[in-house]
Amino acid sequence: MVRKYLMLSIAVMIILSSTAQKIYNVKKFGAKGDGKTDDAMAIQKAIDACTKTGGQVLFPALHTFMCSPITLKSNIDFHLEAGAILLANPDEKVYTKNAFRTNPGEGTIWIGAEKINNLTISGSGEINGNGISFMGAELEDSYVLKPFNILDPRPHVLTIIGGNNIRIKDIHIGNSAYWTVHLVGCNDVVISGITLLNSLKVRNSDGIDLDHSKNVRISDCYIESGDDCICLKNRREFEEFGPCENITVINCTMTSRSCAIKIGSENMDTIRQVVFNNCIIKKSNRGVGIQNRDEGVVSDVIFSNMIIEGHLFSDVWWGKAEPIYITAYRRANGNNKDANWRFPKAVTEGRVGEVKNIYFSNIKCISENGVYVSAESNDKISNIVFDNVDVLIDKTTAIAGGVYDRRPCKVEGFVKGSTSGFYFDAAKSITVRNCSVQWGSNKPNYFASVIESKNVDSLQLFNVAGQAAFPEKLEAIKK
């Protein structure tokens, strides 16, 4: 009997040892973890060894691993224990690889990967982009961007191009000098439980950018970023990857100096079948924005069960406190960045695609501005539904309002206009159902109507509650 149990125990041990994940501790490959030594070479050795067998690249607790650019590979769990920090090298000269292929003017790559499968980034440790090190002087609401000649050396924290089966979970990531998590042409992605904190003064510091990516699930995340928190797009540099589609985002809390949730503005393909649900947006310059500026189409998007809180910031940041924003305008063809990289080859005049089948349900908005829908012609935006969307407008900052922000577009960027609960300018088939508009105690003279509409074909109103900001002078519904 004893021999039988002994043989069984040996068999179990053999099974466990054969299935246990192989661990590649970066310190055993020469990483110092002292926060001063550049550990990139040692970390890369651990990654290269791990990809051959599969397993975990381990960053042990209570060490700071400063490093230059590294390349992630297939079949690894890139794991940072609680108290472990991976810190970007502050030396601009080590960043030489463009984040957008032959376009050198929009940052570089720190942690990169291309054409990989089965990558997990995990743990309760921190990936720190050391972003403030790459900034110029600190201003009241932003940092000065350092001048550069051709290559903008500011590193993006994580760039994955052509990845499949990507999992990013539980990690703390941020302090980025540019975009934080950029997923290009990726398929089957789960991002869950991460904390993403960027300085609210760093311009271009997007949180999560999904670029030509498919079948992505984002959940239970907390994001603060100077620029967009979550953005869906189709950049021209990666056009071979096709549409951005089948995206779900649930249970996230976001704060942005620009737009917390944005679709566009770069969209040369199609963005479709997208759901945002159970999200909170706090103290943002713009809450939800669909900003179509290229020939691509945006369709079949649902926003539901959300609280949106916003207020005005300076013109350094995009937006004018619109809690919900849908626009479709051709891109401006002026500055060198647009002329060289935004349009198709040999094209200097852009065009804009449709935005259609967009649904907003059970959303509570508190801001200094109202819902804004606007296009260059009324055939560009169609079938927009607002159901149980409540808007409270109150003046809470000293920054002047009565302005809408249509940048970047060929026509005027800032447009003066009255602030109404729902402002519609050029669209067709808009439905407003079971919605309300209220006004706070501080009402400047540009606060206006519940709904203001012009050049809209088929505006349907059902059970809309509220009165004008100054009912003795203005009508509630202005067409």
pTM: 0.95
In this structure, how many other beta carbons lie within 10 angstroms of the beta carbon of residue 46? 27
CB 324 within 8 A of CB 297: no
Q: Which helix (H) or strand (E) holds 17?
A: helix 2-19
398 backbone dihedrals φ, ψ, rounded to 5°:
-90, 0
118 conformational bin, left if phi > 0, alpha if psi -120 to 50, beta if neither: left
Distance CA 396, CA 318 (A): 18
pLDDT at 3: 52
* pLDDT tens digits in sequence order for the chain, 479 residues long: 545 544 555 444 444 444 578 999 999 999 999 999 999 999 999 999 999 999 999 999 999 999 999 999 999 999 999 999 999 999 999 999 999 999 999 999 999 999 999 999 999 999 999 999 999 999 999 999 999 999 999 999 999 999 999 999 999 999 999 999 999 999 999 999 999 999 999 999 999 999 999 999 999 999 999 999 999 999 999 999 999 999 999 999 999 999 999 999 999 999 999 999 999 999 999 999 999 999 999 999 999 999 999 999 999 999 999 999 999 999 987 554 545 678 888 887 889 999 999 999 999 999 999 999 999 999 999 999 999 999 999 999 999 999 999 998 888 889 999 999 999 999 999 999 999 999 999 999 999 999 999 999 999 999 999 999 999 999 999 99
List the beta bridge partners of residue 424. Answer: 373, 453
CB 145 within 8 A of CB 114: no
What DSSP character marks residue 342? Answer: I
In this structure, how many other beta carbons lie within 10 angstroms of the beta carbon of residue 11? 10
Nearest-CA neighbor of 302 among 226, 363, 227, 373? 363
DSSP notation for 66-83: EES-EE--SSEEEEE-TT
Distance CA 261, CA 287 (A): 6
Distance CA 67, CA 60 (A): 15
What DSSP character marks residue 149? Answer: S
Place of tokens 């040996």: 10
Q: Is 463 helix (H, G, I), strand (E, B) or coil?
A: coil
pLDDT at 16: 41
Distance CA 247, CA 303 (A): 12
